[in-house]
Amino acid sequence: MVQFVFLDWLWIVFFLALMIGCGVLFYRLGKRSESDFFLAGRGLPWWLPASSVYATHTATDTPMWITGVIYQHGLAGIWYTFFSAWCAISAFVSTRIFRRSLAYTQAEWQSLRFGGLGSELLRGWLAGWQVFMNMFILGWVGIAMGKVCNYMFDWPVWVGLICFSSICAIYVLSAGYWGVIMADFQQGIIAFAAIIIVSVWGVIAAGGPQAIVTGLADLGQSWRLNPFHFSGWLSGDFPGAWFITMLVIALIGGFGMGTSIDWYAEAQRIQSARTVRDASYSIWWGTALVVVRNSIWAAAILGFFVLFPNIQEASEYELGWFRLGLDFLPAGLLGFFFAAILAIHLSTISTHLNLGGMYATRDIYHHYINPEAPEKRLIWVGRFTTLLLLLGSFVFGLMMEEITKWLIFALWIMAAGVWLPNILQVIWWRFNAWGYLSAWIANLGLSWLVVWVLPAFRVIPEMPDYLQFWALMVLTALIYLPVTFLTRTEDMDHLVKYYVMSRPIGFWGPVRREAERRGLLEQVTHIE
Amino acid sequence: MALIRRKWTPAAADEWTREDWITIVLSPLAYITLAIGVALSIFLLKIGFIVLGAGVVLTALMHWVIDPKLKTISEDYEKKQKDYLEELEKIIRWEEIK
């Protein structure tokens, strides 16, 4: 158990007052309109959503799993964190296309890209799925905070879960996305400062940079400094084939929308940026900070490995980075460290509370239940659904031990079989709503078969996860491609309108020609 | 014709061009080199500083290539945004559904 002195408590009280103060300060801006409550009026300079991208993707559980993979695989474990690099291409491709669509949410984008009944089914499905997913993520991250508080103060896990998510809800309910983004900016700075301080302290505690390199050599573990140390091309628990699959998923995924679970939160940041350029830079620079942060963590964890090289239990070494802070920081700075833990926690919680509320309000209530709702009512519905998400997350969090395996499987469902359709919907004019919908449905059944049912009955061998990805990608294509070709193309008027507004990349020849025939595209003139 | 175009008309900037594809290649390389470079530089390894330097250069080059085009796209698009937003509100109220 950790002992705090007066100065430590002062840090925490000061920090919480600052966060809740945000809610009060931006209350008036948040209640102006639906656009303000969920997108801060679409007027933010790039560095504000960038800090939010960074802060949101620094959650309480993030240092745990990064510590886990680095302790296990050395510096090469950094590639486990590289899925966030989908933003490398997305920032200049799908971000640009999505920002030009002006859709509040990915669900709303479906009704701009596709038309008719298919698009409405997709919008409803994605909205419901996202409300569920945000509640799940809130529970997952919330219970991680419960465990940290249990480790530090011996509190029951539910105390950490309920207490800090509820404090966060104060400014999210008050100011909506204005509160989220302004708090994220401060939280991002506090968290980054703490990550550097604790990591540097950890490296010094391990004897300094040179001592870590020498220490690894003495332990016969110098390979841990090689970022490309794999267990073989196809063999072992960390093969090169996995690395190549990861690069494909992350980088090529940037051409699509929804190829990463993080897309849905980034989509909100993209739309809150004041211009297309601001949107692109917010995503690129926010993720660049994530990439750099992971490397700083990785170096500190190698220091932790030199200090404690023989930990076998994952649950024990996963707390490595926290231990560097808690065991080695002096009294007085411990409170700052805990305030930083609170910062990374609140930034994630606030994002998912507001994001889930946006899907529930914009796509379900506003579009399907009360299309004529006035702005004031929409903001109150936003607040009410945010509160429901908070309460639902407590239930999820408290039953997380039992359902985690199921829900990680649910996340995998999102990633594998619909990965390519998520790209096709952006780059290929002929891909229609029925093709995309059938991909989701097919993937739901096929992933059960490929991951669990067929291996259990020994029909197929149990495959490593990267092979499951390729298998699911091919198998679902065998269903959605025939469905696409056997059903009608989207209405040309609808496609032309979408094309002129969004100017998507890829195979849009027939739509472009039709737009040109109607005189909707300006002639290109060359200026050199 | 210059390899990298620095002046754009709104119509030309709306097209997907060589500058976009150069950015699409540079951007992941920048992330990869920054990731490796930062980690190895903390251990004061020479290779770390070299890779980190490459990451900084790639990042600067990427911005130099794409920024004029992004500026033109943004300026032109913001003029049309108000009309598009009005359409979006009609769709949510089912006024555009045929």
Task: Tell me the pLDDT tens digit for each residue of A455-478.
Answer: 999 999 989 888 999 999 999 999
Average pLDDT of the segment spanning A293-314: 95
Asked if residue B68 belongs to a domain, the reply is: yes
Answer yes or no: do A92 and B24 touch at CB < 8 A.
yes
Q: What is the pLDDT of residues A144-166, one digit of tens each?
A: 899 889 888 999 999 999 999 99
Chain A residues close to B74, C-beta within 8 Å? 275-278
Q: Is A93 on the interface with B (CB under 8 A)?
A: yes
Percent of chain B with pLDDT strictly greater than 70: 96
pLDDT of residue A258: 92
Top residue of A80, A105, A277 to mutate, by most chain B CBs within 10 Å, is A277
Closest CA to A328 of A200, A430, A219: A200
In our burial notation (b when 16+ CB lie closer than 10 A, e otherwise), range A386-396 reads beebbebbbeb
Largest CA distance in chain A: 74
Range from A263-267, A276-280, A447-451 carrying the lowest mean pLDDT: A447-451
Answer yes or no: do B28 and A371 touch at CB < 8 A.
Answer: no
Tell me if chain A has a CB within 8 Å of the CB of B79.
no
Write out the residue range of the structural domain in which residue B43 sits. Answer: 18-92
pLDDT value of residue A264 = 95
pLDDT at A528: 41
Q: Is the pLDDT of residue A37 over 90?
A: yes
In a domain, B98, yes or no: no
Chain B residues with CB under 8 Å of A85 CB are 28, 31-32
Which positions in chain A touch B8 (Cβ < 8 Å)?
527
Residue A409 confidence (pLDDT)? 63
Closest Cβ opposite residue A102 in set B8, B73, B85: B85
Please name the member of B12, B70, B85 whose beta carbon is closest to the beta carbon of A524.
B12
Nearest neighbour of B44 by CB, restricted to A209, A278, A371: A209
Q: For chain B, how many structural domains are there in total?
A: 1
- Residues in chain B with pLDDT values less than 70: 1, 96-98
Identify the closest residue of chain A to B90 by CA–CA distance. Answer: A371
Q: What pLDDT score was predicted for residue B97? A: 52
Between chains, do B39 and A96 touch, taking CB under 8 Å as contact? no
What pLDDT does residue A407 have? 59
A263-to-A232, A234, A258, B7 alpha-carbon distances in Å: 32, 30, 5, 32
Query: CA-CA distance, A133 to A493, in Å (whole number)?
Result: 34
Chain B residues in contact with A212 by the CB 8 A cut-off are 43
Closest CA to A437 of A476, A480, A470: A480
SS3 content of chain A, % helix, strand, coil (to 5): 80, 0, 20
Closest partner residue to A209 among B5, B10, B43, by Cβ? B43
Crossing angle of the two packed helices A116-153 and A400-415, in degrees rounded to 10: 140
pLDDT value at A526 more than 90:
no
In order of A124, A258, B87, B92, the CA distances from A367 in angstroms are: 9, 21, 14, 5
- Confirm whether B10 is domain-assigned: no
Whether B6 is in a domain gets the answer no
Tokens 């550097």 found at: A196
User: For A333-346, what is the mean pLDDT?
Assistant: 90
Q: List all residues of chain A from 268 to 287 with a beta carbon under 8 Å from chain B.
A: 275-278, 280, 284, 287
CATH of domain A6-400: 1.20.1730.10
Closest among A111, A243, A195 to B90, alpha carbons compared:
A111
Which residues in chain A have Cβ-Cβ distances shorter than 8 Å to B15?
524
Contact A82 B35 (CB under 8 A): yes
CA–CA distance, B35 with A288 (Å, rounded to integer): 9
A88 contact residues in B (CB cutoff 8 A): 27-28, 30-31
Closest partner residue to B11 (CB to CB) among A251, A491, A524 is A524
Whether chain A has a CB inside 8 Å of the CB on B2: the answer is yes
Contact (CB<8Å) A277/B70: yes
Contact yes or no for B92 and A89 at CB 8 A = no
CB contact under 8 A, B35 and A295: yes
Interface predicted TM-score (ipTM) of this complex, two decimals = 0.94
Among B27, B78, B30, B24, which Cα is nearest to B56's?
Answer: B30
pLDDT at res. B1? 63
Pair of tokens at residue A387: 């509160």
Q: Do A295 and B85 touch (CB under 8 A)?
A: no
B73–A292 C-beta distance less than 8 A: no
**How many cross-chain Cβ pairs, A to B, lie less than 8 Å apart?**
135
In a domain, B9, yes or no: no
Beta carbons of A93 and B32 less than 8 angstroms apart: no
Residue B75 in any domain: the answer is yes
Mean pLDDT (whole number) for A218-235: 95
Contact call for A527 and B8, based on CB within 8 A:
yes
pLDDT of residue A527: 46
pLDDT at A413 exceeding the cut of 70: no
B65 touches chain A (CB under 8 A): no
Find the angle CA(B12)-CA(B91)-CA(A38) to the nearest 5 degrees. 85
Task: Say which residues have a Cβ less than 8 Å from residue A291's Cβ, sequence separation at least 6.
Answer: A81, A82, A84, A85, B31, B34, B35
A412 pLDDT higher than 70: no
Facing residue for B35 by CB, picked from A212, A291, A302: A291
Please report residues of B whose CB lies closer than 8 A to that of A276.
70, 73-74, 77
Residue B97, in any domain of the structure = no
Tell me the average pLDDT of chain A. Answer: 92
> Would the pLDDT of A403 be above 70?
no
Q: Which residue ranges make up each domain of chain A?
A: 6-400
Q: Model confidence over A355-394: pLDDT tens digits?
A: 999 999 999 999 999 999 999 999 999 999 999 999 999 9
Query: Quick check: A438 pLDDT over 70?
Result: yes
The nearest CA of chain A is from the CA of B79 a distance in Å of: 11
Taking the Cβ of residue A492 and every Cβ of chain B, the question of whether any pair is shorter than 8 Å is answered with: no
Cβ contacts of B75 on chain A, cutoff 8 Å: 275
Closest chain B CA to residue A34: B89
